Amino acid sequence: MWVILKTLFYLGLGSWVLGRGTRAMSAEEKTTIRGQVLEMFEHAYGSYMKYAYPADELMPLSCRGRVRGQEPNRGDIDDSLGKFSLTLIDTLDTLVVLNKLEEFEEAVRKTVSEVRLDNDVVVSVFETNIRVLGGLLGAHVMADLLRGRGERMQWYQDELLHMAKDLGHRLLPAFNTTSGLPYPRVNLRYGVLNPLSRTGTESDTCTACAGTMILEFAALSRLSGEAVFEEHARKALDVLWEKRQRGSDLVGTVINIHNGDWVRRDSGVGAGIDSYYEYLMKAYILLGDSVYLERFNTHYSAIMKYISQPPLLLSVHMHNPTVSVRGWMDSLLAFFPGLQVLRGDLKPAIETHEMLYQVTKQHKFLPEAFTTEFRVHWGQHPLRPEFAESTYFLYKATGDPYYLKVGQSIVEKLNTHARVPCGFAAVQDVRTGTHEDRMDSFFLAEMFKYLYLLFSEKSQLPFDIDDYIFTTEAHLLPMSLSITQPPCQGNGTEPRTALEEDLFTHSCPSAQTLFPNNPSFAKTIRDGYKYLNGVGRPQRVSSIRGIEGTA
């Protein structure tokens, strides 16, 4: 059953009749844009290596590296920085996807010989897991693949896997809580409760922070043979599942790690919760354990009942989900149409993606937050890749050339509005176009990977992309992990009662159902949302449920 992802990828291009109104993109045009993406990546990665390495991030306006403690403190944003050459590690498997195998081998040598993980630095458990542990694992998988072909990496002796195991053990102290939910931060050298750790006083964590460990930790367990990582990640998911609101089947945004009480009870699919839902679905695909699918389906039904109001994705109160708690959406929810594609639920994915595209056409990029009337609520745009991610998945599912045009617009806007002499700079405010001295590692880890894949044929890639699952940071883990060992024991989900099941609840979707033999299928859905920003004709958004304050 984990082949749902592979099935979706195999289906689209052969079975879809191109929709009316969007001209198919020629092979030459796709090659040209793919070349643009490569050149942009070389500019960004080259700038990091030239001006910033071994620092964690590039400061593209200053043309130098960002070293923690040497720059003004940015609060929680700096929790990603651990003096472990973050951008290099986060970018490793992107080099392979982009067929830069010589650069990959050189970067792996640098990582193995120069990166230290035992630094006296307090870091985010969540960010370090998805960016650094995920980066090391994805790079190990790629290095192992190339070594097995006998062409490159013959010197490689699983050094990246050993580094990943070392880092995993440095993250484990965070799980030393009565509930099993991890502390949000850990000291790479001293753990959590050591007097020298400068952490351990926190009482709360976000749902995504606790619920986005299973892919990396389970992969580490199955590659290293040490079950402890998967067990801890699974326990944290078990707690979140048990603490869901039983009436609505929704979860809140922030939870107390000691007693499991909800601290923030607003529920959506954006910041604070997003990748918890993503990892339930993908854990099923990667690990083959149907318990994760059962849980995802339960939550998904609740999301579609209470949170999804096409094309919008609202935030509601988990205990009273008919009440919207805010009049704005955040940009992180842009990943959700891609997850809906994996679920086989194309119509709402197309609707929400089209809404997001209209917002980008109005504001150049997705603002960090925007209102239900599509005005800017918070104007920052840190070059987030989630919209490109969903564009890629929708194109893979439909083969509709419309999504290539969307991808082309992303490429053009990045080059026009974010490119600077020393890389690409985050946009401080989409209304003014001012830049911020910031280029996050996820820009290299995710954005270029999705854009390059969008304009590539399978035959042009150095490996079969359909054999891998993307983590939330777009690191590649092999789906063959599901057969390396049986699921952990003692995992159970109570029987589903009175929950209406649909066609995709337990089966891989079929081409006939997912892609009706109707050339205008996706276009017809999109057309209803073409004028959301009010340009061209009166706004066509149904009335929004009443906005009330968070309880």
Bind-site residues for Ca(2+)? 472
Is position 500 annotated as part of the catalytic site?
no
Among 274, 330, 440, 473, the active-site one is 274
Of 296, 301, 268, 302, residue with least CA distance to 280: 296
Q: Which residues are annotated as a binding site?
A: 472
Among 386, 400, 446, 473, the active-site one is 386
Among 249, 368, 437, 446, the active-site one is 368
Q: What is the DSSP string of 407-467?
A: HHHHHHHHHHHTEETTEE-EEEETTTTEEES-B-HHIIIIIHHHHHHHT--GGGSSS-GGG
Is position 278 annotated as part of the catalytic site?
no
Of 170, 106, 178, 117, residue with least CA distance to 143: 106
Cα distances from 384 to residues 54, 154, 389, 438, in angstroms, run 23, 36, 10, 12
Element (H, E) at 317: strand 316-317
Element (H, E) at 255: strand 254-256
**Do 255 and 204 form a contact (C-beta atoms < 8 A)?**
yes
Is position 230 annotated as part of the catalytic site?
no
**Do 127 and 80 form a contact (C-beta atoms < 8 A)?**
yes
Among 78, 90, 127, 351, the active-site one is 127
Is position 368 annotated as part of the catalytic site?
yes
What the block records as the tokens of 472 is: 């939330």
What the block records as the tokens of 359 is: 């917002």
Of 10, 93, 12, 16, residue with least CA distance to 450: 93
Length of the chain: 551
Cα separation, 179 vs 235, in Å, equals 9
Q: Which residues are catalytic?
A: 127, 274, 368, 386
